[in-house]
Amino acid sequence: MTSPQPQLVLENVSCHFGGIRAVNGVDLQLDTNDITGLVGPNGAGKTTLFNLITATIRAKSGRILFAGRNITGLTPDAVARLGLVRSFQSPMTLPGVTVREHLRQAALFQAIGRPSFLLRRRRIAAAEAQARRTADAVLDFARLAHVADEPADQLAYGVQKILGVAMAVAAGPRLLLADEPAAGLNGAETAEMERLLRAIHEELSIGVLVIEHDLPMVMRLCSHVIALAQGTVIADGRPHEVRGSRAFIEAYLGSEADAA
């Protein structure tokens, strides 16, 4: 644990939409050896924080560092190539493309993502072979082999969400950011998603940062929990510490907690 870890560090990061402070002076650190849970009521700024980390939106102030490198102001694709890859809250697919091809392309974008690859064509054959192997491996890993050759946009909602996380894995991340992976899934699908996230962490040694409303799942899965409310960090620590903290209870239950 003392070896140099690629760590994600946010320093006083803020983002305002008009007068609304969606994310307000957030400081946080997380280790890519952990599964970290990001929790908080609706509108707390969780997805905005994800968008800031993955550079989909720009921070108004503050710095974001990954593995000691300042990534503030990079483009989303550059952040992804550095190893910060996200999955989306609602399933994202390419129209008419099979599951296997989605995973192959996800694995290939690291090599062909920038047009400059046209100037280094020799490496492409190796990258293509590697992408095919990665796609096959991830198909098994995410238990998607039975739908490998079906068009992804025709799949059930839950399977598409599994595919979303699987694509992020195929892209070869160091830290995977999963935005509400279990939202909208039934019991069996939620269990499968939980298994997948745990396997990503334990078997592939990829760090995971997960936004999730399913608190019992967060408690089971995460070794580190960060709670947000109204754009600020209100609790940060081990799962039971966060759940037991007064600020966290108040944020979820409001003034009723005081009355109780």
Partner 1 sequence: MQTLGRILPWLIVIAAIVPFAVNGDFTFHVAILIGIQALLALSIHLTLRVGQLSLAQAGFMGIGAYASALFTRDAGIPFLVGLACAAAIPALLAGLLGGIILRVRGVQFALLTFMLGEAIVLLFVEFVIPFGGNNGVMGIPPIALFGIPLDSRQQIYAFVILVLAVVYFASRTLLRGNPGIALRGIAGNEALAQSLGTDSLGWRRVVFAASAGIAGISGSLYAHYLGYISPEAFNITTTINALVMNVVGGTALLVGPLIGAILLVPLPELFRSAVLYQQLLYGLSLLLLVLFLPQGLGSILRRPRT
- How far apart are alpha carbons 155 and 95 in whole angstroms? 12
Binding site for partner 1 (CB under 8 A): 54, 56, 75-78, 80-81, 85-86, 88, 92-95, 97, 105-106, 108-110, 112-118, 124, 128, 167-168, 171
For partner 1, the closer of residues 127 and 249 by Cβ is 127
Taking the complex as a whole, the smallest distance from the CB of residue 142 to partner 1 amounts, in Å, to 15
For partner 1, the closer of residues 97 and 148 by Cβ is 97
Taking the complex as a whole, the smallest distance from the CB of residue 86 to partner 1 amounts, in Å, to 5
- How far apart are alpha carbons 243 and 236 in whole angstroms? 10
> Strand 207-211 relative to strand 35-39: parallel, antiparallel, unpaired?
parallel
Residue that is written with structure tokens 């003392």 in the block: 2
For partner 1, the closer of residues 173 and 239 by Cβ is 173
> Strand 35-39 relative to strand 224-229: parallel, antiparallel, unpaired?
parallel
Contact status, residue 248 vs residue 40, Cβ threshold 8 Å: no
Taking the complex as a whole, the smallest distance from the CB of residue 200 to partner 1 amounts, in Å, to 16
Q: Helices in the chain by DSSP H: which ranges?
A: 46-53, 76-81, 99-112, 124-141, 157-170, 187-202, 215-221, 239-244, 246-253, 256-259
For partner 1, the closer of residues 90 and 186 by Cβ is 90
Contact status, residue 103 vs residue 135, Cβ threshold 8 Å: yes
For partner 1, the closer of residues 37 and 173 by Cβ is 173
Taking the complex as a whole, the smallest distance from the CB of residue 94 to partner 1 amounts, in Å, to 4
Taking the complex as a whole, the smallest distance from the CB of residue 196 to partner 1 amounts, in Å, to 18
Distance of CA 7 to the CA centre of its chain: 14
